[in-house]
Structure 1
């Protein structure tokens, strides 16, 4: 039996994160939706699975992991953009978490060393 954290939606596998671009880069932003307590999550992020919806409506899987060595990171699966560009799997540092209404906005930092 797995334990669910207070930030997990009942019966769901992943939170939706809406991104404003077709790919991630330093300074890009994504808004995580459906968190039960966005203020607490922004202040103390926990590991969660995400479905990133990019601006071209492509959806890919990602995992958010707080890391003691480098800080929070976002591991994104490989995907193909709507225009057909293949983007390899990458891990990104998260520069900032901020509450924006009912969402938590992630600001992408640089690429994490893997």
Structure 2
């Protein structure tokens, strides 16, 4: 993939998650592709590795975590946007898991505790 900037190299077993923006924020949506049975996953989420692709084609590692008191959390590795803005690593609460059109849509809430 031709990228002007990237995050860390992504793991081979990670599911692709496509985000419509160059960064994440409360209310942002990411669509996880090729997840077997998105309906079952939404009903009973489990930890998985993700490769987040942003609107500027930047790719970075992330993981969906389900353990802990915060519930389902998206942990994102640091990356640099296509415009050169450095984004630190961050964790996001997942407000909603919505199976839609054979994919799973993550809707972000606020920041998760570290």
The TM-score with structure 2 as length reference comes to: 0.88
What is aligned with 1:113? 113
| Matches for 1:32-47 after TM superposition, within 5 Å | 32-47=32-47
Q: Which segments of structure 1 move beyond 2 Å, counting only runs of 4 or more?
A: none
Q: CA deviation at 1:41?
A: 0.6
Residues in 1 aligned to 2:113 and 2:82: alpha-carbon distance in whole angstroms: 27
Equivalent position SS for 1:84: coil
TM-score (norm 1): 0.88
**1:79: Cα distance to partner?**
0.1
Partner of 1:23: 23
1:30-87 CA-to-partner distances (Å, cap 9, x unmatched) read 0001111111011111100000000110000000001340110000000000000000
Number of corresponding residues: 103
Which has the larger displacement, 24-33 or 36-45?
36-45
Work out the CA distance in 1 between the residues paired with 2:58 and 2:78: 11
Cα-Cα RMSD:
0.8
Tell me how far apart the structure 2 counterparts of residues 36 and 28 of structure 1 sit (CA, whole Å): 23
Structure 1 residue runs of 5 or longer lacking an equivalent are 1-11
Provide the residue aligned with 1:50 in structure 2. Answer: 50
